[in-house]
Amino acid sequence: MKLDRFYPIFDSVDWLERMLPLGVKLVQLRVKDRPEAELRETIAAAQALCCVHGAVLVVNDHWRIAIDKGCDWVHLGQEDLDTADVPAIRRAGLKLGISTHDHAELDRALSLSPDYVALGPVYPTILKKMKWHQQGLEKVTEWKGLIGDLPLVAIGGMRVDRAEGAFAAGADIVSVVTDITLNDDPEARLREWIGATR
What's the CA gap between 90 and 198, in Å, rounded? 30
What's the CA gap between 55 and 4, in Å, rounded? 9
The predicted structure's pLDDT at residue 71: 97
The predicted structure's pLDDT at residue 130: 61
Residues with pLDDT less than 50, the chain = none
What's the CA gap between 95 and 110, in Å, rounded? 14
The predicted structure's pLDDT at residue 127: 63
Q: Topology of domain 6-197, per CATH?
A: TIM Barrel (3.20.20)
What's the CA gap between 159 and 94, in Å, rounded? 30
List, for residues 3-43, the tens digit of each pLDDT value. 999 999 999 999 999 999 999 999 999 999 999 999 999 99
Q: What is the pTM of this model?
A: 0.96
Q: Domain locations in the chain? A: 6-197
What are the Cα distances from residue 53, in Å, to 18, 78, 144, 161? Answer: 12, 30, 31, 27
